[in-house]
């Protein structure tokens, strides 16, 4: 995230990293975890790992994470990625780098999708230990760390399969998404029910617009207070 250290490409590794950082300050629970957007997946996995260590989760909050993790039971048996088209990918990287430096990469959704796809393929194959892609991965990160981090998070989210969580999730959903079936999807991942709160705004304005952010803060504060009183 800081543009200096190459990002993790697995939700499990991100969760482990953050748990280690948290436990340097607080070795024992209860823990109060909240994640927004993609961070909801990371917080969910952190809770699972902490529970596996015998720790107590007093609160697991998810802020507007519309796509919940897929269940591990739904994971395909074969997750292998074919290692092929190495020369083609190297040539694609060289072409993109040249066009970027020449200022020929005009922003467009089509081009962005192509760039993201190439970056994602590079991260996938680097994850298999292919030395050429490991080299390309480092070159891409040095060249445009924000884009690589964004693609790494997309890859991590796509590849993550979670287990059913034996507890409650406090779910904050923007009113813009209140008609979606996100709450029902999250409910599949828990055993004791979903504590759902509708907050004003959309995915961005719910925390960027002061009057909306205050509602989120007040509701979250109330949930924290309730969880603390029970822990």
Distance CA 171, CA 62 (A): 5
> Helices then strands (H, E): number in the chain?
9, 6
The count of C-alpha atoms lying within 13 angstroms of the C-alpha of 211, restricted to the half-sphere facing its C-beta, is: 2
CB 58, CB 228: distance < 8 Å:
yes
Q: Does residue 77 lie within any of the structural domains?
A: no
CB 226, CB 206: distance < 8 Å:
no
Q: Does residue 54 lie within any of the structural domains?
A: yes
Distance CA 137, CA 231 (A): 44
Do 153 and 164 belong together in one domain?
A: no
Among the candidates 142, 158, 174, a domain finishes at 158
Q: What is the pTM of this model?
A: 0.73
Q: Does residue 171 lie within any of the structural domains?
A: yes
* Per-residue confidence band for 34, with pLDDT thresholds at 50, 70 and 90: very high
Do 153 and 90 belong together in one domain?
A: yes
Lowest model confidence (mean pLDDT) among 13-27, 53-67, 82-96, 214-228: 82-96
Among the candidates 106, 139, 158, a domain finishes at 158
For 120-134, what is the mean pLDDT?
A: 61
Q: Does residue 80 lie within any of the structural domains?
A: no
Q: Does residue 190 lie within any of the structural domains?
A: yes
pLDDT digits (tens, 9 = 90+) for 49-72: 999 999 999 999 999 887 788 877
**pLDDT in the model for residue 86:** 44
Do 137 and 165 belong together in one domain?
A: no
DSSP secondary structure letter of residue 190: B
CA geometry: angle at 19 spanning 15 and 20, to 5°? 120
pLDDT digits (tens, 9 = 90+) for 74-104: 766 655 444 444 445 445 555 655 555 555 5
Do 91 and 128 belong together in one domain?
A: yes
CA geometry: angle at 168 spanning 164 and 170, to 5°? 120
Domain span holding position 221 = 11-69+160-230
Neighbours of 98 (CB within 10 A): 11
Q: Does residue 167 lie within any of the structural domains?
A: yes
The total domain count for the chain is 2
Average pLDDT, the chain: 78
Among the candidates 158, 176, 199, a domain finishes at 158
Do 64 and 90 belong together in one domain?
A: no
Do 65 and 173 belong together in one domain?
A: yes
Q: Does residue 119 lie within any of the structural domains?
A: yes
Distance CA 43, CA 36 (A): 9
> Cβ contacts of residue 17 below 8 Å, gap of 6+?
8
Do 217 and 195 belong together in one domain?
A: yes
**Residue showing tokens 């092929």:** 84
Do 92 and 152 belong together in one domain?
A: yes
**CATH number of the domain where residue 219 is located:** 3.40.50.1820
Do 19 and 60 belong together in one domain?
A: yes
Selected residue with higher pLDDT from 206 and 126: 206
Q: Does residue 4 lie within any of the structural domains?
A: no
Do 169 and 154 belong together in one domain?
A: no
Do 152 and 174 belong together in one domain?
A: no
Percent helix, strand and coil across the chain, each to the nearest 5: 55, 15, 30
**pLDDT in the model for residue 77:** 60
The percent of residues in the chain predicted with pLDDT above 90, rounded, is 36
């Amino acid at each position: 995230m800081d543009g200096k250290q190459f990002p993790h490409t697995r939700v499990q590794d991100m969760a482990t990293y953050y748990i280690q950082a948290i436990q340097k300050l607080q070795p024992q629970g209860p823990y109060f975890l909240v994640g927004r957007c993609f961070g909801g997946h990371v917080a969910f996995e952190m809770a699972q790992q902490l529970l596996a260590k015998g720790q107590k989760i007093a609160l697991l909050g998810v802020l507007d994470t519309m796509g919940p993790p897929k269940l591990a039971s739904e994971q395909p048996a074969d997750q292998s990625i074919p290692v092929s088209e190495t020369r083609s990918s190297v040539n694609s990287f060289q072409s993109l780098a040249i066009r970027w430096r020449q200022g020929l990469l005009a922003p467009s959704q089509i081009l962005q999708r192509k760039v993201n796809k190439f970056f994602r393929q590079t991260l996938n194959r680097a994850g298999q230990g292919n030395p050429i892609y490991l080299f390309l991965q480092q070159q891409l990160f040095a060249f445009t760390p924000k884009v690589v981090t964004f693609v790494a998070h997309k890859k991590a989210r796509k590849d993550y399969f979670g287990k059913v969580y034996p507890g409650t999730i406090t779910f904050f959903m923007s009113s813009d998404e209140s008609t979606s079936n996100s709450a029902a999807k999250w409910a599949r991942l828990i055993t004791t029910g979903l504590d759902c709160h509708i907050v004003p705004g959309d995915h961005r304005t719910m925390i960027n617009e002061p009057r909306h952010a205050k509602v989120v803060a007040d509701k979250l504060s109330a949930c924290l207070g309730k969880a603390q009183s029970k822990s």
